[in-house]
């Protein structure tokens, strides 16, 4: 069995146990920080169109803003902070934002995870199981793959708004405030 140099130095009195302890604290501290950072990485679950419909149904009683976006979509990036602000502003009144990334799960998932780590959205974000045309039409036959795409559901789960364009905070607010008021 090989004896480490640190053990030999400790036995010979050339290395103070306190110095060794201090060294280990300095070396181990960054490793603990890295492990903590990795464990706080966002979770990104894959969803099929049926799963998305189930997510809306699970939020019956709330107004649901369902938004589809991608990290490579410039209008999506412009709209995302407004959607985050909506959730923060109206969550207490019954708004639930659900985001679905249309990034390719096979080649762009890391891009999406980085985006989520950087933006820290206050709502759940999922990633589409695939980006085939059928996925889009299974979500809604009106959807022709344009991004961003938003559907807003009333408290009963009925789709009342459908948009294939970026929206602003004020435009979303105009759509959701009457739905939030209707209890």
User: 109-137 pLDDT, tens per residue?
Assistant: 999 999 999 999 999 999 999 999 999 99
Phi/psi at 46 (5° precision)? -85, 140
* pTM for the whole structure: 0.78
Residue among 169, 162, 11, 152 nearest 88 (CA): 169
Percent of the chain, pLDDT > 90?
75
Q: Is the pLDDT score of 159 beyond 60?
A: yes
The angle at the Cα of 20, spanning 19 to 24, to the nearest 5 degrees, equals 115
Contact of 126 with 54, CB cutoff 8 Å: no
In the chain, ranges of CATH 3.40.30.10 domains: 45-181
**Across 133-153, average pLDDT:** 97
Distances (CA, A) of 21 to 4, 15, 17, 34, 114: 15, 10, 6, 20, 36
CA distance 181 to 171: 16
5-49 confidence digits (pLDDT tens): 445 444 555 555 554 444 444 444 443 333 333 445 678 999 999
Q: How does the average pLDDT of the chain come out, rounded? A: 85
Q: How far is CA 118 from the centre of its chain?
A: 10
Q: Is the pLDDT score of 104 beyond 70?
A: yes
- CATH superfamily of this structure's domain 45-181: Glutaredoxin (3.40.30.10)
């Amino acid at each position: 069995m090989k004896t480490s140099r640190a053990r030999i130095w400790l036995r010979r009195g050339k290395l103070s146990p306190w110095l060794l302890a201090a060294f280990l604290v300095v070396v181990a501290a960054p490793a603990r920080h890295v492990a903590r950072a990795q464990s706080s990485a966002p979770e990104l679950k894959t969803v099929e169109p049926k799963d998305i419909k189930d997510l809306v149904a699970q939020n019956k009683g709330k107004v649901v803003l369902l938004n589809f976006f991608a990290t490579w979509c410039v209008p999506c990036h412009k709209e995302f902070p407004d959607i985050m602000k909506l959730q923060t502003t109206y969550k207490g009144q019954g708004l639930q934002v659900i985001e679905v990334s249309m990034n390719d799960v096979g080649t762009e998932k890391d891009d999406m995870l980085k985006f989520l780590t950087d933006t820290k959205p206050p709502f759940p974000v999922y990633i589409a199981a695939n980006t085939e045309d059928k996925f889009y039409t299974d979500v809604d036959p009106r959807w022709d793959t344009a991004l961003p795409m938003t559907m807003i559901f009333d408290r009963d789960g009925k789709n009342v708004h459908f948009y294939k364009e970026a929206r602003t905070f004020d435009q979303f607010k105009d759509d959701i405030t009457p739905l939030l008021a209707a209890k």
